[in-house]
Amino acid sequence: MKIFVLTGAGVSAESGLGTFRDKDGVWTKYDLNEVATPEGFARNPALVRDFYNARRGNLAGAGPNAAHVALARLEAVLGDDLFLCTQNVDDLHEKAGSRRVIHMHGELAVTRCHHCQATRGDSGALTAEAVCEACGRDGGARPHVVWFGEMPLFMDEIEAALSAADLFVSIGTSGSVYPAAGFVTEARAMGIATCEINLEPSANAYVFDEKLYGPASEVVPEWVEKVLAGR
């Protein structure tokens, strides 16, 4: 059985990383137009860098929780039969041991050059003075994350994996951010079984065949055990 797993901010919330769209989420405290758009970066790159430097600081002190560990265990057993796609820009799946993670919204611990688009692993502070190793220009350092108005990454690979899946599972997502929120509808249209695992019903919970609710650190390991027991 081929399983497509999509994870969102809810899978990392218990690791101390804030969600974005809940009532106390990140977007209730910041204007996303100022810190998460190309236009905001053009207007005030220092503000944007400060925002993501704070996010990098939070990530440095965070570790994977039982949900991440369970998914890494599932990958270790299923191998290529598990496609793990995350909307998260953190690296907690990798810290838990997952080796095949598709970051459709980019990665926080990677710096991209605004001038030439070159990327490099980097968990340090973003600065205007940083010189790009690829093009030699300064002033272009930005986080390698997909901002509002930008195209998500790896969409061809994602669509191919979704069409080949036998089961689509959404874990810890709000169900309101597209194109990821539309994956469940695509899966249903192709006759693929669907399951939502979340703290509470998402915006598109009604579309799913199966629904499992509770803390990710409890429900995801239980679901993984069930999947492995049924092999």
H or E stretch including 184? helix 183-189
- 105 as an active site residue: the answer is yes
* 169 vs 227: CA distance, rounded Å: 12
- List Cα–Cα distances, 64 to 68, 76, 105, 108, in angstroms: 6, 16, 19, 15
Residue 85, strand partner residues: 6, 102
Catalytic option among 68, 93, 103, 105: 105
Confirm if 16 and 177 have CB atoms less than 8 A apart. Answer: no
Q: Which residues contact 216 (CB under 8 A, 6 or more apart)?
A: 10, 11, 13, 14, 65, 66, 67, 171, 172, 197, 199
Strand, helix or coil for residue 87: coil
* 62 vs 59: CA distance, rounded Å: 5
Please identify every residue annotated as catalytic: 105
